[in-house]
């Protein structure tokens, strides 16, 4: 099995148009969804900080924070900030 990509010390896994950032065993992780591409470059990305509690799998409470960014760098930066802050508060 290939090693996952790492960003700021946390794994990043791609599945289709979604990127999962963080450990699924942690209480929170970031999900980046590419909504639009221009010349095969993501130009519209939905960023969500999600609770990983299985009891919230089909609940609106699963999404803690949400934003949209115009490039992957900005999407990863805001997601990383949210994740670090949320995990530090535990």
Residue pLDDT, tens place only, 61-74: 899 999 999 999 99
Two tokens, residue 66: 């949400």
DSSP string covering 3-35, please? PPEEETTEEEEEETTEEEES-TTSSEEEEEEEE
- pLDDT over threshold 80, residue 2: no
Which phi and psi (to 5°) does residue 77 adopt? -65, -50
- pLDDT over threshold 60, residue 29: yes
pLDDT band at 22 (very low <50, low <70, confident <90, very high): very high
- pLDDT over threshold 70, residue 1: no
């Amino acid at each position: 099995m290939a090693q996952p990509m790492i960003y700021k010390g946390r794994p990043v896994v791609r599945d289709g148009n979604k990127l999962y950032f963080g450990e699924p065993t942690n209480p929170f992780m970031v999900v980046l969804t590419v909504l639009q591409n221009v010349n095969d470059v993501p130009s519209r990305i939905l960023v969500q900080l999600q609770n990983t509690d299985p009891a919230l799998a089909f609940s609106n409470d699963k999404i803690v924070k949400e934003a949209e960014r115009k490039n992957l760098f900005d999407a990863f930066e805001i997601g990383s900030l949210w994740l670090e802050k949320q995990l530090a508060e535990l």
